[in-house]
């Protein structure tokens, strides 16, 4: 075989392998390069300078406004395209998992489905058709998918309050798998929150004790001062009595001497 034919054959194999990868993983969301491992724990890009703000649409279970990722809880984000048949198949499983997570963790968890295509009216219609009942996010700039290196549709990621991605899976997942992908992250979040609350309580208690001690010290000082003053006054009284008594005694003695002299004079007369 000639070298040119060999090179051409190798190139053809590379193209076929790349096409197979696209068919299996789907096209990238945005222009980011595919992630090395769809189940890895890659964090958001280091140059991110704050939370990503997603616009939310007024739809069933959602309201018009914005949400931030990360926020003060745990976020379960599903990336989808309305034209994706696999995304449609995932919706009932995500609905079941979302209900379980909300029932157990309440406001600590935020579930959001994110897309970058279609108008709001079309998305709202698609949402109702597939029983969506959580936040519906519209991200035309694909900023969230790019930040967390999302490839293909559908993809579900779990992000904690610090922006760290803990779970990343694609394809049709059953409700149990989605639940157990998010639940450990939520449990860890609650543990951190509880530890932080306990530390704050201890700090407040120590501060309160310190204030109580400082408030009680001046009173005890004044009491000790008054006690010492009283003792000083009492110690002064005996001294004054002792000073006056000798004088009275001397004057009494002089009186006695005068009296005895007068008596002697009368006797002589």
Sheet containing strand 65-69, strands side by side: 65-69, 52-56, 135-138, 109-115, 74-79, 155-159, 165-170
At 59-93, the pLDDT tens digits run 999 999 999 999 999 999 999 999 999 999 999 99
More confident residue, 21 or 139: 139
- pLDDT at position 216, please? 62
The number of beta carbons lying within 10 Å of the beta carbon of residue 179 is 20
Mean pLDDT (whole number) for 3-11: 40
Mean pLDDT (whole number) for 194-213: 76
Domain boundaries, the chain: 23-199
- pLDDT at position 204, please? 75
- pLDDT at position 2, please? 40
At 153-174, the pLDDT tens digits run 999 999 999 999 999 999 999 9
Over 60: is that where the pLDDT of 21 sits?
no
Mean pLDDT (whole number) for 13-40: 41
Answer whether the bond into residue 70 is a cis peptide, omega within 30°: yes
- pLDDT at position 22, please? 39
> Lowest mean pLDDT: which of 41-45, 67-71, 147-151, 192-196?
41-45
Token duo for residue 66: 């914005």
Mean pLDDT (whole number) for 191-212: 79
- pLDDT at position 242, please? 44
User: Whole-model pTM above 0.85?
Assistant: no
Over 60: is that where the pLDDT of 235 sits?
no
- pLDDT at position 206, please? 74
- pLDDT at position 4, please? 38
The reply to whether CATH 3.40.30.10 applies to domain 23-199 is yes
Mean pLDDT (whole number) for 196-202: 80
């Amino acid at each position: 075989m000639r070298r040119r034919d060999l090179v051409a054959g190798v190139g053809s194999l590379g193209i076929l392998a790349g096409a197979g990868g696209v068919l299996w993983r789907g096209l990238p969301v945005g222009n980011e390069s595919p992630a090395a491992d769809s189940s890895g724990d890659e964090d958001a890009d280091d140059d991110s300078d704050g939370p990503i703000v997603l616009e939310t649409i007024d739809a069933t279970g959602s309201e018009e406004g914005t949400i931030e990722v990360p926020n003060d809880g745990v976020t379960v984000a599903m990336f989808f395209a309305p034209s994706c048949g696999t995304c449609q198949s995932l919706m009932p499983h995500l609905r079941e998992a979302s209900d379980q997570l909300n029932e157990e963790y309440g406001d600590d968890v935020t579930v959001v489905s994110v897309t970058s295509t279609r108008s709001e009216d079309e998305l709202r219609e698609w949402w109702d058709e597939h029983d969506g009942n959580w936040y519906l996010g519209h991200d035309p700039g694909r900023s969230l998918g790019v930040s967390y290196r999302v490839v293909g549709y559908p993809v579900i990621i779990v992000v904690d309050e610090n922006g760290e991605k803990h779970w990343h899976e694609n394809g049709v997942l059953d409700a149990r798998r989605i639940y157990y992908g998010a639940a450990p992250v939520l449990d860890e979040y609650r543990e951190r929150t509880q530890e932080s609350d306990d530390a704050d309580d201890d700090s407040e208690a120590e501060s309160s004790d310190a204030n109580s001690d400082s408030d009680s010290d001046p009173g005890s000082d004044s009491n000790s001062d008054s006690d010492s003053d009283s003792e000083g006054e009492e110690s002064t009284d005996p001294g004054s009595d002792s000073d006056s008594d000798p004088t009275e005694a001397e004057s009494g003695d002089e009186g006695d001497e005068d009296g005895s002299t007068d008596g002697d004079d009368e006797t002589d007369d």
